[in-house]
Structure 1
Amino acid sequence: MALVMVTGAASGLGYNTAQALADDGHDVVVHVRNESRLRDPDLWKGVVIGDLARVDEIHDVARQAARFGRFDAVIHNAGVLGAPDVMTVNVVAPYLLTASMDKPGRLIYLSSGMHRGGSTDLRRLSAGGTYSDSKLWVTTFALAVAARWAQTSSHAVDPGWVPTRMGGAGAPDDLTAGHETQAWLATDEDVTPRTGGYWHHRQTQPPHPACHDQDFQAQLIDALASQTGVPLD
């Protein structure tokens, strides 16, 4: 049985991932933006609450999560599609939570096939970056963590364009397949590669070349540390 935290678990892929893990007997701590969005409270090991668009509340989410001890896995699922919060929710929040929490055994970050259209211009971090930018950068961050933290596996996942509130009712991809890879990466003992994968429906794919560029990885981490005031160990 694993202790797993899932951010953005009020609905959509986050809720489906958390429910699948709980149904398999794992202890799941869910993050939701506010208490009114919490579903099925009796299903979870615990709940953390906070708006990941607000830096002060990101720090508070990390403090709340610390009550549960070291997680076996953390799934950074929370995300938004548009400005003005896209960089804070999609990039800064995963970075700050990763840097502030005890290192878990496994980290999974939600990416998107749209990351391939992102820019490597890190000035956009504080000056209106796009959704594609944010997904390029969080994918790069996931692979940078894989390279830096030998004892923690770290992966990025493209769940596909699925019919959630964000994806829209007409999205063509499979909703169930959209969460299965995250749950599998968080708990299965037979994941190859053990770390540093970019996944789509339990198959690795090559990400944007910048994601493996060590110089860009270092520049991204330096930019996030400078903006937040919190270094990555």
Structure 2
Amino acid sequence: MALILVTGASSGLGRNTADALAEDGHDVVGHVRNAARLAGPGDGAAWRGVVIGDLAEPDEIRDVARQAGAFGRFDAVIHNAGVLHSAGLVTVNTLAPYMLTALMEKPARLIHLSSSMHRGGSTDLRRLTDGTASYSDSKLWVTALALALASRWEGTSSHAVDPGWVPTRMGGAGAPDDLIAGHLTQVRLATHTDVTPRTGGYWHHQQTQAPHPAAQDEDFQARLVHILESRTGLPLG
């Protein structure tokens, strides 16, 4: 069985992903923003453990990495946590996946939550630092990061997933997509041995699609990684 970290696991897609993996017998470590996010009876009881920290705060991202490191090397890390409207949008959606990847021991598999809205994102990377970034921008950038990581380390695969517009707190009760289908791809990418392509896929409901062209552009990926390294002070190695 696999040891798997799921960020943003207190509710919505992250909770469904973490619980599905635990039901399949995997050792799940769920990340939550604060302890109150798991206040219900039995919340997280099937998981191996919990790590706590606000991914909108760089110092807390570092502490989440430290807490996660106590469990050892993960077989898979699912970067699920995300926000739609928040002053910390870029930090949660883009910087946190980068920082956790740079700070933690390299896992066998990385899965990054994207969105179909990434196709409307800007390639103007000045927006990453000047406070003008949109949700679509942040999702384009994390998609490009996922695909940049796809061939970076021997023994580590990396994928991006569009879970669909599903009826979660973020998506809203009227979202038209299938909530269950929203987490099945992440579960498969984290655990199955027959994934094709092995790395570098942009997925929607267990099928690959073509992402925004910039996400696969090596020059854009290199510029993005350089800015993230400069912004955080953390090289990928």
TM range (shorter): over 0.9
Q: CA RMSD in A?
A: 0.7
Preserved contact between residue 83 and residue 130 of structure 1 (Cα < 8 Å): no
Q: For residues 146-184 of structure 1, what are the alpha-carbon distances to aligned partners after superposition, in whole Å with 9 as ceiling and x for unaligned?
A: 021231010000000000000000000000000000011
Q: TM-score, normalised by structure 1?
A: 0.99
The DSSP-based 3-state class of the residue aligned with 2:119 is helix
Tell me the CA shift for residue 41 of structure 1.
Answer: 3.1
Distance in 2 of aligned mates of 1:18 and 1:117: 29
**Sequence identity (%):** 73
Q: Which residue of 1 aligns with 2:187?
A: 183
Matches within 5 A, 1:94-173: 94-127=97-130, 128-173=132-177
Contiguous gaps of at least 5 residues in structure 1: none
Letter in 2 for 1:205: Q
Residue 36 of structure 2 aligns to which amino acid in structure 1?
S
Q: Indicate the residue corresponding to 1:32 in structure 2.
A: 32
Please tell me the residue identity of whatever aligns with 2:166: V
2:200 to 196, 203, 213: 196
Q: Distance in 1 between matches of 2:188 and 2:174?
A: 26
Query: What's the CA shift for 1:82?
Result: 1.6
Unaligned segments of structure 2, at least 5 residues: none
Cα distance in 2 for residues equivalent to 1:131 and 1:184: 26
Identify the match of residue 217 of structure 1 among 221, 226, 232: 221
Which amino acid in the other structure matches residue 229 of structure 2?
Answer: A
Alignment of 1:56-75 (within 5 A): 56-75=59-78
Q: Which moved more, 1:79-88 or 1:98-107?
A: 79-88
Output the amino acid matched with 1:121.
Answer: D
Tell me whether 78-87 or 193-202 shows the greater mean CA deviation.
78-87
How does 1:80-91 map onto structure 2 within 5 Å? 80-91=83-94
**Deviation string, structure 1 residues 123-157 (Cα, Å, up to 9, x no partner):** 11112200000000000000000021231010000
SS in 2 for 1:43: coil
Q: Aligned with 1:20: secondary structure?
A: helix
Q: Is the 8 A contact 1:16 1:179 kept in 2?
A: yes
Residue identity opposite 2:51 in structure 1: V
Q: Distance in 1 between matches of 2:37 and 2:16?
A: 14
C-alpha separation between the residues in 1 aligned to 2:44 and 2:73?
21
Q: TM-score, normalised by structure 2?
A: 0.97
Other structure's SS at 1:91 match: helix
Please point out which of 43, 48, 59 is paired with 1:45.
48
Q: Provide the rounded CA distance (Å) in 2 between the counterparts of 1:83 and 1:7.
A: 17
Q: How many Å separate the matches in 2 of 1:147 and 1:4? A: 21
**Distance in 2 of aligned mates of 1:182 and 1:120:** 26
Distance, in Å, in 2 between the alignment partners of 1:223 and 1:174 is 36
1:86-143 deviations in Å (ceiling 9; x for gaps):
1000000000000100000000000000000000111111122000000000000000
| In 2: Cα distance, 1:78 partner to 1:170 partner | 21
Which residue does 2:7 correspond to in 1?
7
Counterpart check, 1:18 vs 2:22: no
Rounded Cα–Cα distance in structure 2 between residues aligned with 1:83 and 1:215? 29
1:54-106 Cα deviation digits (max 9, x unpaired): 00000000000000000000000000002311100000000000010000000
Match of 2:96 among 62, 78, 93: 93
